[in-house]
Amino acid sequence: MLVLTRTVGEAISIGDEIWVKILEVRNGQVRFGVQAPKHIEIHRAEVYRRILAQLARQAAPQPQGEAVSP
């Protein structure tokens, strides 16, 4: 993990297309903005984990009911 110290108004780049800019620091919280191309999805970690869990449930094989003979 790379750990950086930035002040309000400063930014970091991730590759050529993604920028993270520090917008505000107040009461122990940091507000930052992420600028990225539209084809790159950006989610909070807890939202991304829910998305992955939902995709895993959808991909799981569904149980088949037993065949009933007439």
- Structure token pair of residue 7: 């002040």
State pTM to two decimals: 0.71
10 close to 22: Cβ distance less than 8 angstroms: yes
Containing H/E element for 8? none
22 has a pLDDT exceeding 70: yes
For residues 25-52, average pLDDT: 96
45 has a pLDDT exceeding 90: yes
For residues 42-70, average pLDDT: 85
